[in-house]
Amino acid sequence: MISGTEHGGRGPRVPASPLMEEFRARRRKFSLSEITDHVLEFALDQHGSRFIQQELESAAEEDKQAVQNEFFCASLFVVGLVSTPQTRS
C-alpha cells in the first residue's frame, strides 16, 4: 500500500505496509532487492526515498533495472487512470 502521507505528508493518512513499518523501525539493514513490489511506497516516503537514492549509487545493474521497471509500471497505471474517460452516472 502506498504510504507517502503517513508521516507528515499532505492528504489522507494511508496505512503503511508491514515492510515499510519494519524499515521505519530500523530493526535491520535493507537492500534494494528486498523492497521489490514496494518501490513506489518507499519512493513516496521521506526516508524511503533517501534509502533508494543511496542504494542506487552502488547498486548492481540488475537492481537498478528492477527499480526502473517498477516505476515504469506504476507510471503506466497512473497514465491509464488519467487518460481513461470517466463516465458519469
What pLDDT digit, counting tens, does each position of 8-21 carry?
455 556 789 999 99
**6 within a domain of the structure (yes/no):** no
Per-residue pLDDT at 65: 94
Between 79 and 51, whose confidence is greater? Answer: 51
Domain count, the chain: 1
Q: Is residue 29 part of a domain?
A: yes
Residue 48 lies in a domain: yes
Domain contains 11: no
68 is in which domain, residue-wise?
18-83
Q: Is the pLDDT of residue 35 over 60?
A: yes
**4 lies in a domain?**
no
Distance CA 60, CA 75 (A): 23
> Can you tell me the distance from the alpha carbon of 13 to that of 25, in angstroms, rounded to the nearest whole number?
18
- Assess if residue 63 is contained within a domain: yes
Compute CA distances 78 → 12, 31, 81, whole Å: 19, 26, 5
> pLDDT at position 8, please?
47
Type of residue found at 15 = P
Residue 48: per-residue pLDDT:
95
Q: Has residue 24 got a pLDDT over 60?
A: yes
**Is there a domain that residue 8 lies in?**
no
pTM over 0.75: no
88 within a domain of the structure (yes/no): no
Q: What is the CA radius of gyration of the chain?
A: 15
